[in-house]
Amino acid sequence: MVTKSTAAERTRASTEPGVLALVIVLAWLVPGAGHLWQGRRQKGVIFLLALPLMFVTGLLLGGRLFPLQLSEPLVFLGAIADRGIGLPFLIARFMEAGAGLVTAVSYEYGNTFLMTAGLLNFLVILDAYDIAVGRK
């Protein structure tokens, strides 16, 4: 007989290293997915809406998705922050968005939105990890 696993059972199971890694990857790839998977529906839905929307706003404001250039430390850090959002970043790259319009008045605003969305998702990933190991 097949039974559906409850959120509590998933939380208990998530203390296993493989499952923990899955939670982290899932939470990185889709903002809020780590929370949704662990039964924190309200938080997950808010992250799922707010973070990609913030990322898209950054793109609309003419922000740039920075390349991973070790020769330019600040650009490299910006690139790490950009990649924190996961799937929206990959989709934007696939669609060749985020070239950045340096002459746009909102260029720096766009960059700030893009990087902050990624950095906030890093915090969301840590929160999902804390839930998975039973700290929250």
What is the end-to-end Cα distance of the chain in Å, rounded?
32
Instruction: Indicate the residue among 61 and 65 with the shorter CB distance to another protein.
Output: 61
> Per this entry, what is the length of the chain?
136
CA–CA gap between residue 62 and residue 54 (Å, rounded): 13
Residue 41, CB-side half-sphere exposure with 13 Å CA sphere: 2
> Least separation, in Å, of the C-beta of 61 and another protein?
7
- 48 touches another protein (CB under 8 A): no
Binds another protein by CB under 8 A, chosen from 33, 43, 63, 115: 43
Q: Which residues bind another protein (CB under 8 A)?
A: 42-43, 46-47, 50-51, 53-54, 57, 61, 105-106, 109, 112-113, 116-117, 120, 123-124, 127
